[in-house]
Amino acid sequence: MRRGTIVLIVFLGLIIIGYVWFKNLHNSMVAKDEAAKSTWADVQSAYQRRLDLIPNLVSTVKGALTLNNLHLQQL
């Protein structure tokens, strides 16, 4: 084989290896980004669930306060 052909084959091989490495890097970054978005969605869901429970807590505290006031008035 001629020297130019060997250099061309090596050059093309390096380009192919670089392309495969870049695609693998890109795919792993996309997977990590999706995992981060999923985790953040879980956090937001937990915050929303806590926010939805606040009115129930307020009504429970109001009921307990009313009961305590009733007991104090009877004394």
**pLDDT tens column, 25-39:** 999 999 999 999 999
Q: What is the pTM of this model?
A: 0.60
Band the pLDDT of 6: cuts 50, 70, 90.
Answer: very high
Output the DSSP codes for 9-58: HHHHHHHHHHHHHHHHHHHHHHHHHHHHHHHHHHHHHHHHHHHHHHHHHH
CB-based burial, 43-58: b 16+ in 10 Å, e otherwise: eeeeeeeeeeeeeeee
Question: 40 vs 34, 43, 44, 48, 55, CA distance in Å?
Answer: 10, 5, 6, 12, 25
Per domain, the residue ranges of the chain are 44-75
**pLDDT tens column, 54-72:** 999 999 999 999 988 888 8
Q: How large a percentage of the chain has pLDDT more than 70?
A: 100
